[in-house]
Every structure is written in structure tokens, then in C-alpha cells.
């Protein structure tokens, strides 16, 4: 049993905050401190088992005892906030980053990922034993660092999944071919870790790789039975492969919400160990649905906790306020890590910036904010929280041009941030003046300061003879093609 104070778990999310040495630093401390106040457990970002197996240059490591001191410091901090700590151990196999000098690549196959990557060496028995030792040694370091639970990655197209998946495993020996052969080595890893440490173990799996030749739910139900027989304490059910179907792995806005929950539900019905549900869980309605429809044992909330570090506290009614929504855009989180800037968030300005928590101003002022787009609304809300008197001018609909962002197909989630700001304007009782601000308004208002947030206007090309031009009209419902 995991024995958490509630059903919420933060899954592993790559931060990219290390300085290239794999060590915990103040950025990690600050990030997890803010997010461990109400949640049941925090899973630290994926920990590399060897410096030659990094997915990103700034990844945290657990490959030697030098890492223990920082991990202990981080673990102690999270424990002080009442949450348990999970170490996510993963060997990327052929999916190690080919752009990082010194990385090496092994797999069940000698073929590279079809969407790019290095050509791996096909593993022999000696290599398998080395991998098992990596997992065991890393698990022991995790326990020595005070970590409570270990999660082993069996999914998402990484090494153990590269053995399980018939789309990747092309072996003709006892580790390839039939389902029982393909799961032999992954189960050897599990049993070796189980024998080495006396803590709860979670298996993270892809219930379906979403490709015709890959892993599918029927085999994963069978695999879940085997995991249960071998002593696993919980199964974390996700989907997709970082090689073949990364959108399913990352669960961004173009992926149908709830499909991963349905897969988890099918596994839950067939086994007797707890199942962790995951995948774009970013609202109170999602949590209600997971509990009422699927009777979820545990709920993993990742990017929702990036967008709003008090997400769980608000769900549990321990923190007041509207939930700042994750838009599933993957721009600041995944994009920031890929750009080498580290994880950030397009809706949460406090993530990976030098900005401080909002505090009351020393002297209070009367301020006009002109323009009710996202920037204007954020400015008005922040000023109000600092104690200022605020008038917000907007002649049209609050949200400005961002109201257009959610109109294209599969981008409906972008509307959530407009709805959030509208709710914040209302709950903060900000004076909304729905008219175009003119000079007399400013004079009569007797304002101490004015913030101009009027946005942009379309640039008209200086083409000779141009009389008619179009901008965003095609996004309006009556302009969109039908049928």
C-alpha cells in the first residue's frame, strides 16, 4: 500500500533545472516546496541511472552517491509539507538523447526509432545484467535518500517498453517473439528491485501505444496481472510512446481527453491493486468524473500543478480561489525544457522566473487599466491583489483577441484561460467599465497611474489598389466551412 494522506500524486515531469551535474539545486527546492503542501505524494522528475542515459542535459541523476545529499534535502523538505516522495527510475534505452555527448544507446533491437534517434546496440545478457544493476543501485540510493516509494517505467517507449512492444522487439531468442518472452526481462528488473529494497513499488505502463503494431490494452491487462503476482503495489496507467506517438505521452490539446482514463478503468476492473489515473486532469469536473464514473484509486495531476501549484489544495477546499487552468498547450512546460530554458508555464508567471509571490503594496493608488485582453486582466487582478483601487476599461468582450484562439479545431482548451480571468475579475470585484476610455474618463477618474493594454491592430499591407482585406473573420462560425 502507498498509504498517502489523499489520492493525489504529482507524476514525474522533466524540469531541466540542473546545471548539468545532475544535482538538486535551489530551483528544484522552490518548485517542489510550493507543490507539496496539500498533495499526497510528489514524484521527482525522472532520475537518470547513468550520466550516459540522459534525455536532457539538465536532468537530475541518481547514478552515484554524490547525488544523495541533494536528494535527502529535497525529500526532507517535501516530508515537512506532509507529502511522500516517489523516485521515478527509467532507462531510456534507444531513446537517450543523441545530441548529448557521451550518451550510449542500447535496446531490445538494433534499429533506431523510426522518427529519429541513434542506432542502438542490441542487448546481450551481460548488458541486461548491467541494466538490472543500474536499477537496483539507483533504488538503494533512493531509499538511502529517504524516498518512500519507487516507480519503475515500463511504458512510454523507453527501454523496458522496448522489450514489451512487438513493434520494437524483433528478437528471436528467449526475450523476443511471444508475449511471455517479451516481458521476461522487464519482470527480471522488477523482481531484482523488489528483492533489493523494502519500499512500495509502482509500475508505470502504457496501456496502448496507439500504433497498430505496438502494445495494446489486452496484453497490458495480462501484464498487469503479472505485475500484481510479482508484488507491485500500484499501477500507473498512461498511453503512447515517446518514439512513435509522443502526443499521447504528453497528452496535449490535440489528444482526446479521457481516453487514457478509459484504458486505466479497463485495467482496474481486472486487478486487485490500486490504479493511478493520469492524463490532462486539470479541473474539478475531471476529478469528480474520475471518482464518480471510474472510482479512481489515485489521481496523478502533473501540468495542472505547474499551472496552479494550489490545484490540489483548491480541489480539497483547503485553499480558496479559482483554479488557474492548464491549457494542455505544452509550450512553456515541454517547450521550455526542449529549448534548454527549463520548465516554465504560459499561464503561471511564477514558474522558472525571478518574480516573487504577490504582496501588498506599501502605498495604495488608484489605477486605470485600459484594455481587457489577457494582459489587461492579469494586470488588473495583480494590482487589486496588491491592494490598489482598479478600474478596467474594455469596450468589447473581455479576453480581447485571445477569444479567437480557441476557435480553430482542437484548441477549445484555450478558452479556459479567458473563463478563468473573467471569474477572477468577478471574484476580485474589479470595477469593469465597458466603454472605450477617452481623455475625459482619465481626467475625471483622477488616476495615479494608467496601464495601456490595448493590444495590437492588424498591419495593412501597402499594396497599391488594395481596398478590401480580411483578418480573422474566417474564424467566425458563419464563415467556417460546413459539412
Q: Which residues are catalytic?
A: 158
* Cβ neighbours for 318, distance < 8 A, ≥ 6 positions apart: 38
Q: Which three cell numbers stand for residue 130?
A: 548491467
Place of cell 522518427: 115
> Quick one: three-class SS letters along 369-382?
EECCEHHHHHHHHH
Helix axes 217-229, 259-268, angle to 10 degrees: 50
SS3 of residue 390 by DSSP: strand
Q: How many residues does the chain have?
A: 483
* Alpha-carbon radius of gyration of the chain: 25
Report the C-alpha gap between 91 and 246 in whole angstroms.
17
Report the C-alpha gap between 280 and 347 in whole angstroms.
16
* Cβ neighbours for 26, distance < 8 A, ≥ 6 positions apart: none
Helix axes 259-268, 284-294, angle to 10 degrees: 30
Burial 444-460 (b: 16+ CB within 10 A, else e): ebebeeebebbeeeeee
* Cβ neighbours for 213, distance < 8 A, ≥ 6 positions apart: 166, 167
Q: Look at residues 426, 263, 441 and name the one whose alpha carbon lies nearest to residue 369.
A: 441
Report the C-alpha gap between 92 and 117 in whole angstroms.
12
CA atoms within 13 A on the CB side of 434: 5
Kind and range of the H or E run holding 74: helix 68-80
Contact predicate 74/29, CB 8 Å: yes
Amino acid at each position: 500500500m502507498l498509504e498517502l494522506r489523499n489520492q493525489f500524486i504529482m507524476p514525474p515531469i522533466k524540469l531541466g533545472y540542473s546545471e548539468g551535474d545532475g544535482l538538486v539545486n535551489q530551483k528544484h527546492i522552490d518548485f517542489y516546496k510550493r507543490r507539496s503542501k496539500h498533495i499526497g505524494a510528489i514524484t521527482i522528475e525522472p532520475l537518470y541511472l547513468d550520466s550516459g542515459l540522459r534525455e536532457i542535459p539538465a536532468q537530475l541523476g541518481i547514478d552515484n552517491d554524490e547525488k544523495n545529499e541533494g536528494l535527502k534535502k529535497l525529500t526532507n523538505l517535501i516530508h515537512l509539507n506532509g507529502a511522500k516522495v516517489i523516485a521515478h527510475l527509467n532507462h531510456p534505452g534507444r531513446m537517450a538523447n543523441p545530441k548529448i555527448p557521451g550518451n550510449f544507446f542500447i535496446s531490445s533491437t538494433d534499429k533506431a526509432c523510426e522518427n529519429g534517434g541513434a542506432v542502438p546496440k542490441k542487448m546481450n545478457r551481460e548488458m541486461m545484467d548491467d541494466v538490472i544493476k543500474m536499477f537496483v543501485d539507483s533504488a538503494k540510493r533512493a531509499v538511502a535518500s529517504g524516498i518512500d516509494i519507487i516507480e519503475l517505467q515500463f511504458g512510454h517507449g523507453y527501454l523496458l517498453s522496448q522489450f514489451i512492444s512487438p513493434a520494437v522487439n524483433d528478437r528471436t531468442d528467449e526475450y523476443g517473439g511471444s508475449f511471455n518472452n517479451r516481458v521476461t526481462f522487464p519482470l527480471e528488473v522488477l523482481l531484482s528491485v523488489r528483492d533489493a529494497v523494502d519500499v512500495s513499488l509502482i509500475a508505470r505502463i502504457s496501456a496502448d501505444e496507439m500504433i497498430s503494431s505496438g502494445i495494446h490494452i489486452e496484453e497490458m491487462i495480462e501484464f498487469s496481472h503479472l505485475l500484481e503476482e510479482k508484488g507491485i503495489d500500484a499501477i500507473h496507467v498512461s498511453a503512447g510512446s515517446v518514439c512513435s506517438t509522443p502526443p499521447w505521452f504528453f497528452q496535449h490539446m490535440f489528444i482526446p481527453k479521457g481516453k487514457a482514463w478509459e484504458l486505466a478503468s479497463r485495467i482496474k476492473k481486472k486487478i486487485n491493486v490500486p490504479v493511478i489515473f493520469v492524463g490532462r486532469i486539470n479541473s474539478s469536473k475531471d476529478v469528480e468524473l474520475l471518482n464518480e464514473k471510474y472510482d479512481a484509486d489515485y489521481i496523478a495531476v502533473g501540468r495542472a500543478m505547474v499551472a496552479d501549484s494550489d490545484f490540489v489544495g483548491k480541489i480539497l477546499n483547503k485553499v480558496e480561489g479559482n483554479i488557474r487552468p492548464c491549457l494542455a498547450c505544452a509550450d512553456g512546460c515541454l517547450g521550455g525544457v526542449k529549448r534548454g530554458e527549463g520548465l516554465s508555464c504560459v499561464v503561471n508567471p511564477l514558474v522558472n522566473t525571478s518574480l516573487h509571490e504577490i504582496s501588498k503594496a506599501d502605498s495604495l493608488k488608484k489605477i486605470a487599466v485600459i484594455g481587457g485582453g489577457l494582459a489587461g486582466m492579469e494586470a488588473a487582478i495583480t494590482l487589486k491583489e496588491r491592494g490598489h483601487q482598479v478600474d478596467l476599461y474594455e469596450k468589447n468582450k473581455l479576453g480581447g483577441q485571445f477569444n479567437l484562439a480557441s476557435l480553430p479545431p482542437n484548441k477549445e482548451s484555450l478558452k479556459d484561460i479567458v473563463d478563468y480571468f473573467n471569474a477572477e475579475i468577478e471574484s476580485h470585484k474589479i470595477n469593469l467599465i465597458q466603454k472605450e476610455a477617452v481623455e475625459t474618463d482619465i481626467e475625471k477618474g483622477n488616476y495615479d497611474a494608467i496601464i495601456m493594454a490595448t493590444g495590437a491592430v492588424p498591419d495593412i499591407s501597402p499594396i497599391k489598389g488594395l481596398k478590401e482585406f480580411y483578418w480573422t473573420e474566417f474564424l467566425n462560425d458563419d464563415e467556417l466551412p460546413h459539412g
